[in-house]
């Protein structure tokens, strides 16, 4: 296979944002994989450098054992959106920070005189551990204190007001994110459009499943893959379509029903361990195309790992799925 695929075994521990206590994720929000080290100043780039060296040195990888049949035949290829179709992490971070600034969101645990601002290092780690925008904010405010804002002069105390605050922030953030996408400065990741074309030409079903808000995903897809390709999808699901966000497998369980194929004959393309857990939890095989913010994650349950899809062909993925070893 021409594409370089690799594996990293280190795990990422969220470091403390400025003026905050150490992060402490509950078991309900994070993966079951234990964290093994923390990244101090400058460590993240060094770890990524080592990971990149391993990526260059390792060109193939044996598929892992999954609960699928050895006779699996690719009948549906399912893409995540954020991180897979486009490099979106920093775009989302900018949109959140713009929302925090617009509504003058200030958490009581921070002595800063400025609105809440998630720096890139903190946000990379946060978004790699908690899927979905509303769950991110809900966790953050629960951990660091509910904020004052122009929505509520004092921190909201009852569940209804807290839900209202999160809804308002998320809605404004979504609209800001749309503005960034419509600016014309964002392009799809390498190989995505070509692989989609190969899939449709081969008569294999094509789907997109994203945990993001439906309106923002639709905008991304129409602008990045084109309206014709978007309308040609055999299945499209967003976070609004299911009750639970990734890593819960419900979005992929719903997709397989709509596609009318078996889980073992589906292959998911993800970029993070959260998405990987959602796919494998639904009984599907998964390949990873990592980003700069997910490169250090433990993707041991993926059947292949790529830096991008530029050298990955449909025939490569078909062969991978055919050779997945059934779990004993």
CA distances from 26 to 72, 241, 320 (A): 36, 25, 35
Count of beta carbons in the 10 Å neighbourhood of residue 257? 10
- Cβ–Cβ under 8 Å, residues 19 and 109: yes
Give 296-318 as a DSSP string: TS--TT-SEEES-STT--HHHHH
Q: Which residue has the tokens 């014709």?
A: 228
What is the chain's length?
A: 328
Is the Cα dihedral 262, 265, 270, 275 positive or negative? Answer: positive
CA 177 to CA 96: how far, in whole Å? 9
Q: Is 80 a catalytic residue?
A: yes
| H helices present in 115-249, as ranges | 120-127, 133-144, 159-182, 192-201, 214-224, 227-231
Q: Is 241 a catalytic residue?
A: no
Question: Which member of 80, 271, 296, 316 is catalytic?
Answer: 80
Question: Which member of 82, 265, 298, 316 is catalytic?
Answer: 82
CA 128 to CA 300: how far, in whole Å? 16
Sequence-distant (6+) residues with CB within 8 A of 186 are 86, 88, 91, 180, 223, 224
- Hey, which residues are catalytic here? 80, 82
């Amino acid at each position: 296979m021409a594409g370089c695929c690799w594996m990293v075994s280190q795990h990422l521990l969220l470091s403390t944002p400025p003026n905050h206590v150490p992060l402490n994720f509950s078991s309900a929000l994070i993966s079951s994989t234990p964290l093994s080290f923390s990244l101090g100043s400058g460590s993240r780039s060094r770890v990524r450098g080592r990971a990149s060296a391993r990526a260059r040195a390792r060109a193939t990888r044996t598929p892992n054992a999954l609960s699928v049949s050895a006779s699996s035949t690719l009948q549906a290829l399912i893409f995540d959106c954020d991180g897979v179709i486009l490099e979106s992490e920093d775009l989302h971070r900018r949109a959140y920070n713009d929302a925090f600034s617009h509504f003058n969101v200030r958490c009581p645990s921070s002595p800063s005189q400025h609105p809440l601002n998630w720096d890139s290092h903190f946000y990379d780690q946060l978004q790699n551990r908690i899927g979905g925008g509303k769950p991110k904010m809900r966790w953050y405010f629960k951990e660091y204190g509910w904020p004052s804002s122009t929505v509520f002069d004092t921190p909201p105390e009852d569940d209804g007001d807290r839900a209202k605050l999160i809804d308002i922030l998320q809605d404004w953030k979504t609209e800001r994110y749309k503005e960034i996408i419509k600016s014309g400065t964002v392009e799809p990741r390498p190989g995505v459009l070509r692989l989609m074309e190969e899939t449709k030409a081969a008569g294999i079903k094509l789907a997109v499943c994203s945990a993001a808000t439906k309106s923002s995903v639709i905008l991304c897809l129409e602008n990045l893959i084109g309206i014709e390709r978007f309308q040609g999808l055999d299945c499209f699901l967003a976070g609004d379509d299911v009750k639970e966000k990734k890593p819960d497998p419900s979005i992929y369980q719903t997709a397989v029903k709509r596609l009318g194929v078996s889980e073992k004959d589906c292959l998911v393309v993800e970029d993070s361990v959260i998405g990987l857990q959602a796919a494998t939890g639904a009984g599907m095989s998964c390949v990873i195309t990592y980003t700069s913010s997910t490169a250090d994650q433990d993707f041991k349950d993926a059947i292949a790992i790529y830096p991008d899809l530029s050298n990955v062909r449909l025939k490569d993925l078909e062969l991978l799925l055919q050779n997945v070893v059934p779990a004993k």
